[in-house]
Amino acid sequence: MSLSAIVETRPLTELSVVSETLIDGHSWHVDNATAYTNITAWNPEFACHLLRDIYVARTCELAVVRLSRFDKDTILYGGEEFLVASGGSLLREQVAPYLCEEPDRLQRLIAEWRPTIRVHEECMLVARYGIYTWGHWLGELLPRLVVAEARFPGRFRYGLPSLVLTEANPQSPISRIRESLLSYGIGMNRVLALHPAMNYRFDRLHAISSVWSDHIMHPAVAALMRSRVIQPGGAQPATDRPRRVGLLRAGPDRALANMDEVNSLLHAHGFALHLVGDMTFNDQVQLFQSASLIFAILGSDLTGLIYAPEGIRVISVAPAVFGDRFFYALILDRKGRYADLRGPIEKLNPAAEHRSSFHIESSEIIAALEALGADA
C-alpha cells in the first residue's frame, strides 16, 4: 500500500499561507575539486557514476531560501519523528524516508493519543528526523536558525527536542547541539522544548526552506555560518595549532581496520590527530578554521568543513560501497581540493554494508598527499 493511500503529504511550498524570500537563488559555477581517487580499482561501476556525474565542473542552480508561515492550528505530533500536519496534510519534508516505506507505522504515529499544548508565540520549526546526527544538525538544520537570526534577530522561539535542554552528559552529541546554539547567540530561553509525549498546536508556526539545492549548500548561507559564529572572548583561529589535522572516528561504524598503521603514517607527515566527538563545538570550529589539510574517515566529522579556509585540502577514506556527495559539496564551497580514497571491506556489517570496517593501503595515502601537493 502506498503512503498516499493512507495520508496525504504536501511540500512546504503548498502548505505555507505566507512566504517571503530571505536569500535569492541564482546560478553558481563550481570546478571539479577532485585531485585523486582510487575508487575505479575497487568499485568500477560506482566510480563511473562519480567521475561522470559528481566529480566534474558544473553550474549549480541554487534555489531561493524562503521563510514560510503555516496556517493557524498546525500541529506537531509527539514522538521522535517530529511529524507536522497543516490543512489536512502532512508536511512532506518532515516525513523520514523510512516512514514512507512503512505507511502503517506512520498512521499509528499520527493516531496515537497524546495531550496537546497550545503555543501562541511565533515559533520556528527546526526539529526533524535525523536531528541527532551531527551532519544533519550542523549542515542542514542549524543553518536555518542562523539565517533566521541574521534576518530577524530575537524574533522566534525554536522548536527543538526537549533533550537539548536536559541532556547532562557533556560528551553527548546533544550537548554539542546546545553548545552550537550558544555559539550563535541563541540562549536556552529561546528554545521551545518539544517533549515526545506531547502534541503541539501552533498559532504562528514558521519554517525556513532547505538551504541545500542542486546538491550543494547555498554559499550565502555558508558565509553566514562563518561570519556569525561567536568565539569565546572574540578569539581568532589559533595560529599555533597544527595545520595538518587527522580526524579520528570512534565506534565500530565505518572503522579503519589498519588505523594504527595509518596513524603512524599521518604522524610522520606532520598530522595532529583529534577525536572530534570529544571536542567542544567552539574547539571544533577553531580546529577547522586553522586547518590547511584534513584527513578523515568519510562521515559527519567532516561537516566542520563549513568553517575551513578557502583552498582547504581534504583526504577522505571509506569503504568502496559508500556513496555520499554531501561533504564533497562542502569542499566545493571552500574552493578546496579533494582526494577520495576507498578500500576493501574487512568485516562486513550485514545490516548496513557502507558501515563496514575497511582497509586503506598506506601507498594510497602517499599518492593522495602527492596529488594534493602535500607529500613533503
CA distances from 9 to 91, 92, 98 (A): 6, 5, 14
Hey, which residues does 192 pair with through a beta bridge? 159
The pLDDT of residue 349 is 76
Residue showing cell 536555518: 144
The pLDDT of residue 3 is 44
DSSP code at position 355: G
Other residues' Cβ atoms within 10 Å of the Cβ of residue 351: 7
CATH architecture entry for 29-61+235-371: 3-Layer(aba) Sandwich (3.40)
Exposure pattern of 219-228 as b/e (b: 16+ CB <10 Å)?
Answer: bbbbebbbee
Could you say which residues of the chain have pLDDT below 70? 1-6, 232-242, 376
Work out whether strand 293-297 and strand 272-275 pair parallel, antiparallel, or are unpaired: unpaired
Work out whether strand 337-343 and strand 313-319 pair parallel, antiparallel, or are unpaired: parallel
Rounded Cα–Cα distance for residues 225 and 147 (Å):
8
3-state secondary structure of 307: helix
pTM attached to this predicted model: 0.93
The pLDDT of residue 47 is 95
φ and ψ at 360, to 5 degrees? -125, 130
- Cβ 217 vs Cβ 143: under 8 Å: yes
CA distances from 167 to 161, 235, 314 (A): 10, 27, 33
- Tell me the one-letter amino acid at 322: F
Domain positions in the chain: 3-22+64-228, 29-61+235-371
3-state secondary structure of 300: helix
The secondary structure of 82-130 as a DSSP string is --EEETTEEEGGGS-HHHHT-HHHHHHHHHS---EEEEEEEEEE---TT
- Cβ 209 vs Cβ 12: under 8 Å: yes
Residue closest to 38 by CA, chosen among 360, 370, 376:
360
- Cβ 117 vs Cβ 201: under 8 Å: yes
The pLDDT of residue 2 is 39
The pLDDT of residue 21 is 98
Residue closest to 149 by CA, chosen among 93, 70, 230:
230
The pLDDT of residue 242 is 58
